[in-house]
Amino acid sequence: MKHKLNLMLTGILLSIASFAQSKFKGQVVDALTKEPLEAAVVEIKELNKNVLTDKQGNFSVASDAEKVNTTITSIGYTTKEIEVQNNNPIVVVLERGTINLKEVTLISSGGTNAIFKTISKIDLDLRPVKSSQELMRLVPGLFVAQHAGGGKAEQIFLRGFDVDHGTDVQVSVDGLPVNMVSHAHGQGYADSHFIIPETVNNIDFGTGPYYTSHGNLNTAGYVAFSTFNVIDKSRVQLEAGRFNTFRTLAIIDLLKKDKAGQSAYIAGEFNYTDGATINKQNFNRSNIFGKYNLAVTKNTKLNFSASAFKSKWDASGQVPTRAVESGMIDRFGSIDPSEGGNTERYNANFIINHSFTNGFNWENQAYYNRYKFNLYSDFTFFLNDPVNGDEINQKEARNIFGYLSKLTSKKNLNQWAITGTYAAGIRYDATQNTTLAHVVKRQFLENIKLGNIREANAFAFIEKQISNRKWSIDAGLRADYFNNSYFDKLATKQLPFHNQKIISPKLNIKYTLGKTTQVYVKTGKGFHSKDTRVVVGNNGYQILPAAYGADLGIIFKPTDKLLLNAAAWYLYLQQEFVYVGDEGVIEPSGKTRRSGIDIVGRYQFSSNLFANININLTRGRSIDNPKGENYIPLAPVATSVGGLFYKTKYGFNGGVSYRYIKNRPANEDNSVTAKGYFLLDGTLNYTKPTYETGIALENIFNAKWNEAQFDTESRLKNEANSISELHFTPGIPFFIKAKITVFF
């Protein structure tokens, strides 16, 4: 007994000693903006260790050595070697350089998703985007289609899902949620058009339900945009193109004199286009975004941002195939040209972050959103009402309040780095007059549904990550609690409140075989909440269907110029009930099973020439339906995007890119097919320190293609019977746009 006690005490003392080791620590920052650099690689060959910097640019390595030589690399920056003294924190300043795949290092720290942050950084630098729709397209495996020329949120496809407008993909910007739960048009509606693309600094993304910090709607994956805290230069930009298209942009640095302690800038854009349709879209959108950063103390940072967004448009709607084939209308024509709508959104986002000297970091975020939405649609024409037609109006106004508190700790135990994350938060949505109404040419006839929604989501999670030179093990547990209520204004009654909770475990493991190869396994449980009208209408039954997934992947970097990632995955969704916002009814959708293979490739031919490719193969089936009738409508079966890009700091740069989607079933028995397409786009810019000119080309070969596609039962004005067939919105024909930008 005494011997065992001595052994236990010795173990405790050794553990304490290892935690009390001296440390080499510091911060890595950008030389121009003095902003911290996240995910920079700090390598100490003498200790056989490498680590990634955290969100604040900090790194820490435990050792009793007096001094070591470190090599610091970050994609897009010049590599730096520096000597670090023990217990003498330093600030490492990295100068900007060129993109070089040689700087992409496979290391165990940073979790299983670390390499994908680097990939997105490369893609964003090589292919600057001009719209939030193109921002989404930068995410490997994610495909988007537009219903209304930029008026509505994009239809999203990812991992065998037709995600609709965001039901199974969680989208955020600077931690502010984009998705709208219990939305008038569709659950999880994610309209990201309030994001000004030139303000986006990085795109964090992940596929599958494996990430503890991402909760509701993260089943197929998540996309998290982050904006610049500090801008390099102010700019004014003008763009003009076909179809009476033009855009103006201005980004102004407001505090040039004191970037080290504080920074502020404001950005604004205005867009207009008539579109390619015969009936002009009269589409216009305006955005204003401002951000302020303050170093309250050396260890306390404050960040505040605010934005305002307005959009208004007319739409030609979805076109039935028979109307085009018969010559009744052109493919760019319309059955009901009174479709369209308007929307607006106002955001306020406040974040304060404090780093403690003992390795703890505490972040608190509070946000507010005011949102309005008004949409007119006509999908079935005269199917239900042969006199007035079937046009509907969906609208709502809402307030969103949110808060998140997150504590992160970092420690070292012998050769292991241990990171712990502990968080809790709440999101509260309150809508006023969520409406589904029957209208004719935007004139009100009758309400179908009308009510006020209250939805609260309280959550907490804990995550532990341990890593050494070879292994990274990331385990997390998340708890979510929902409270839903609905006041039915047509029945003039408050329906019963419903509460539900769900626990979501996650486990991700990565093993680094050497400098060239990593393998990983991701597993986890996720979910997407149901529309509140489903919850109360279904008496709280099956309102939080779970998603169970697993990935088995490999990351391979055989040379300095080539990076490959391949993953085989599986995802199962439980039985669920869906609120069909266009009809105001609740329908069961059943259990589903999806599996597939994702391939990501990046290659650098020379210091300036790069290629990328993403290939996604999926198979999705409904479990409850018999074979032959178990296809998942509109689920993609094969998609691919890629391109060739030439990048220099000054002079000519640009590239060509393609996107491809294969034919896919449009209904359960595959009797109707949504047509695939292959499109080629291009850009060419000439850049100097004080200005840039360029042109952008879309659909270079002028292909005829269908963007949004649905198998819909409809009846035209003079038809005796309804017909179910493919309805579509035509994709844009050849399009060219020129720009000129002045930097100052």
Write down the pLDDT at residue 4.
Answer: 46
Residue 40 has pLDDT above 80, yes or no: yes
Residue among 221, 178, 183, 215 nearest 200 (CA): 178
Q: State yes or no: pLDDT of 3 exceeds 60.
A: no
For residue range 564-623, what is the model confidence (pLDDT) as tens digits? 999 999 999 987 666 676 776 767 778 999 999 999 999 999 999 999 999 999 999 999
Cα gap 111→107, rounded to integer Å: 9
Contact between 397 and 371 under an 8 Å Cβ cutoff? The reply is yes
| pLDDT (tens digit per residue) in 405-442 | 999 998 888 788 899 999 999 999 999 999 999 999 99
What DSSP assignment string belongs to 93-159? EEPB----GGG----STT-TTHHHHHHHHHHHHHS--SSHHHHHHTSTT-EEE-SSTTSSPPEEEET
Give residue 2's pLDDT: 44
Mean pLDDT value across the chain: 91
> Kind of pairing, strands 67-73 and 58-62?
unpaired
C-alpha 622/C-alpha 283 separation (Å) is: 39
The encoded tokens of residue 243 equal: 């179809």
Q: Which domains does the chain have, with CATH numbers?
A: 2-97 (2.60.40.1120), 116-743 (2.40.170.20)
**Cβ proximity of 126 and 137 under 8 Å:** no
Burial of 13 (C-beta count, 10 Å sphere; 0-12/13-18/19+)? exposed
Q: What's the pLDDT at 732?
A: 95
* pLDDT the model gives residue 578: 67
Q: What is the DSSP string of 187-253?
A: TTB---TTS-GGGEEEEEEEESS--TT--TT-SSEEEEEEE-SS-SS-EEEEEEETTTEEEEEEEEE
Residue tagged 């850049």 (tokens): 687
Distance between CA atoms of 89 and 22, rounded to whole angstroms? Answer: 11
Q: How confident is the model at residue 15 (pLDDT cuts 50, 70, 90)?
A: very low
What is the number of other CB atoms lying within 10 angstroms of the CB of residue 348?
14
Sign of CA dihedral 315, 320, 325, 327: negative
pLDDT category, 21, cuts 50, 70, 90? low
Quick check: 258 pLDDT over 70? no
List, as one string, the DSSP characters of 635-697: --SEEEEEEEEE--SSEEEEEEEEEEE--EESSTTS-SEE--EEEEEEEEEEE-SSEEEEEEE
Q: How many CA atoms lie within 13 A of 247 on its CB side?
A: 21
Reported pTM: 0.93
Kindly state the percentage of the chain with pLDDT values over 90: 73
Question: CB atoms < 10 A from the CB of 260, how many?
Answer: 11
Mind listing the pLDDT tens digit for each residue in 479-532?
Answer: 999 999 999 999 999 988 999 999 999 999 999 998 899 999 999 999 999 999
Task: Give the three-state DSSP class for 184.
Answer: coil
Asked whether the predicted pLDDT for residue 637 surpasses 90, the reply is: yes
pLDDT at 120 over 70: yes
Lowest mean pLDDT among 109-113, 177-181, 700-704: 109-113
Averaged pLDDT for residues 719-732: 95
